[in-house]
Structure 1
């Protein structure tokens, strides 16, 4: 088996494909749901596929030392649950890190409202939660409600952090992610690289742009603000931003979209312009959204590390002794190379755009 195969994160979809069933069936089997009938043969196939692929007990996610939590529960408070996959992925990572110790994860959605957070904390503590993970969908600094200040159980922050570093906190390394996306295009010979950024007030957008600029600087290329167009994370904004980039006198040969939804709009704009991906222009997205595998060609993208972040949060709940101050822990993103990036011919790489 190649090194690339051994280091690739195994997903529930991989297990489903190997077992010849749906992802939902895999979830039912691995979560030991008893009120849904699964044939013994199918259950055995799923478990064997999970063992063979290294999913679950053999997962690369390290097992947390949760012996003290055995048979108890952990609370998971998140502002938004249904609108994006990030919270679900983080909860899945937390479940992986705790399932050997018979730990139940209780999830509460609060819409970011302090009164809902206070009620959620009260309910979780009454249910016997031995620790709480607090998650924000958007990476940001948070000001926690007073209810979190003197909890009788440990608290870990996921995808957010406080200004005083009082609590353990984990976020994606977005600067490195933006640099990786841009560097991938640079390695393919691209020198005129556009980028469609998210809303500029968001930390993720700022950091991914910082990574883009770092990669250009490391390659000895000047930053050109004409190649930077702001979107708002939606396919429509990706479409409109791509049209602006294509209208330049010298359009880019590649575009780094700061999320996969904007990349989808980018694909549509390029198609309407009569251009081909990656023959005429290469595209990199960000997030590894499910849609990235359904675009044609499939989208090269960066996978957000919410599963390992969820596992890390659980590990911190079990950590002893607990320090009084915590540096924000950053987890790297993974480049997922697919078919939307092509190489620029060597005889075009030395061409410099006019100022």
Structure 2
């Protein structure tokens, strides 16, 4: 599968989605065809299913710190559940809110059931300061988080590359006055996406203008307020890259209030690919957070460990650009 992914120019998780026939995966038809052609050229055939160890029950535990505050919990749950189902394995989900007592209770139950292992997930990408000490009692994979000691395999989104892709899409359209609405700096993803923004500008020999980088949360209101401030500059931006889609929707509001239009007057790119991105007018170009693919990879990695794979690796999953209708060349003059 590694060779197929390399030949097709996609991630291993994307290859897994396509070759396993996952119908609801957001993979472009051209990409699917490229994967099929690469698999055919390499003579790739799906191997046998992972065998559940004789001393284990066909259960994987998923520990999540939250399920209600963002829309990102369900892709984790659904991706892990669907990949587990392909291997005739059940997924048991526990919402622990990061509470050590609840985490220990969940781990107690999984140990008693002789579960295959546990996927420990956080909704905000983060380095774990104090991961549960008892994780080592079961095979463990970290989802959307990692630890400095790297005891366990982990998968996180490639936010730096995603920020670079978003900014480069605007540069390719001809923009040079590109603003960035950043998230709060305690959020690792905000710092990483801002890093990608700066790297793209530097690659294209465009100076980073501090006046075009503004911070103010991650909400619609934050995006509206920051964009209104940018539009009052003597030399306002012709394009805006937003930390997330919600800020981008706020940017739409501020642009409209100023009597301007997206993308005729200002181009906008978001990040996350929430459902609201497709309903915006015009539909919002954004960067996909591959939570479904990440969860699938975590299940596969856990089963690989049970099959004897002792490697410990930190995977950064590709965050592809989803081009829609919010990017156009800058207005003349």
Once residues 292 and 249 of structure 1 are traced to their aligned partners in structure 2, the CA distance between those partners, rounded to angstroms, is 30
After TM superposition, the score normalised by the length of structure 1 is: 0.78
1:144 to 111, 120, 131: 131
Counterpart of 1:318 in 2: which secondary structure?
helix
Shift of 1:81: 1.1
1:333 and 2:316 aligned: no
1:112 and 2:98 aligned: yes
Q: Is the 8 A contact 1:93 1:310 kept in 2?
A: yes
Partner of residue 249, structure 2: 264
Correspondences of 1:31-42 after superposition (within 5 Å): none
Once residues 114 and 49 of structure 2 are traced to their aligned partners in structure 1, the CA distance between those partners, rounded to angstroms, is 19
Taking a change above 3 Å as real, the CA distance of residues 167 and 269 of structure 1, as seen in their structure-2 partners, is same
1:68 and 2:52 aligned: yes
Shift of 1:68: 1.5
Once residues 48 and 329 of structure 2 are traced to their aligned partners in structure 1, the CA distance between those partners, rounded to angstroms, is 43
Partner of residue 188, structure 2: 203
Partner of residue 294, structure 1: 279
Partner of residue 153, structure 2: 168
Once residues 217 and 110 of structure 2 are traced to their aligned partners in structure 1, the CA distance between those partners, rounded to angstroms, is 35
2:85 to 99, 112, 115: 99
Counterpart of 1:90 in 2: which secondary structure?
helix
Once residues 141 and 185 of structure 1 are traced to their aligned partners in structure 2, the CA distance between those partners, rounded to angstroms, is 31
Once residues 63 and 270 of structure 1 are traced to their aligned partners in structure 2, the CA distance between those partners, rounded to angstroms, is 52
Counterpart of 1:72 in 2: which secondary structure?
strand
Q: Is the 8 A contact 2:52 2:116 kept in 1?
A: no
Structure 2 alignment gaps of length 5 or more: 1-7, 9-13, 27-34, 36-45
Partner of residue 78, structure 1: 64
1:323 to 310, 320, 323: 310
After TM superposition, the score normalised by the length of structure 2 is: 0.83
Shift of 1:83: 1.9
Q: How many residues align?
A: 295
Partner of residue 180, structure 1: 165
Shift of 1:328: 1.6
C-alpha RMSD of the superposition:
2.5
Q: Is the 8 A contact 1:71 1:101 kept in 2?
A: no
1:12 and 2:24 aligned: yes
Shift of 1:86: 1.9
Q: Is the 8 A contact 2:264 2:330 kept in 1?
A: no
Taking a change above 3 Å as real, the CA distance of residues 63 and 124 of structure 1, as seen in their structure-2 partners, is farther
Counterpart of 1:67 in 2: which secondary structure?
coil
2:217 to 224, 232, 242: 232
1:220 and 2:205 aligned: yes
Once residues 286 and 159 of structure 2 are traced to their aligned partners in structure 1, the CA distance between those partners, rounded to angstroms, is 13
Partner of residue 22, structure 1: none
Shift of 1:71: 6.7
Shift of 1:92: 1.8
Shift of 1:63: 8.5
The superposition leaves residues 217-242 of structure 1 with CA deviations (integer Å, 9 ceiling, x where unpaired) of 00001111100010211111111110
Once residues 205 and 127 of structure 1 are traced to their aligned partners in structure 2, the CA distance between those partners, rounded to angstroms, is 39
Q: Is the 8 A contact 2:268 2:326 kept in 1?
A: yes
2:329 to 332, 339, 343: 343
Counterpart of 1:220 in 2: which secondary structure?
coil
TM superposition outliers: structure 1 runs of 4+ over 3 Å: 6-14, 62-65
Q: Is the 8 A contact 2:79 2:293 kept in 1?
A: yes
The superposition leaves residues 192-232 of structure 1 with CA deviations (integer Å, 9 ceiling, x where unpaired) of 00010001111100000000000000000111110001021
Once residues 333 and 147 of structure 1 are traced to their aligned partners in structure 2, the CA distance between those partners, rounded to angstroms, is 32
Structure 1 alignment gaps of length 5 or more: 15-53, 55-61, 349-355
Partner of residue 298, structure 2: 313
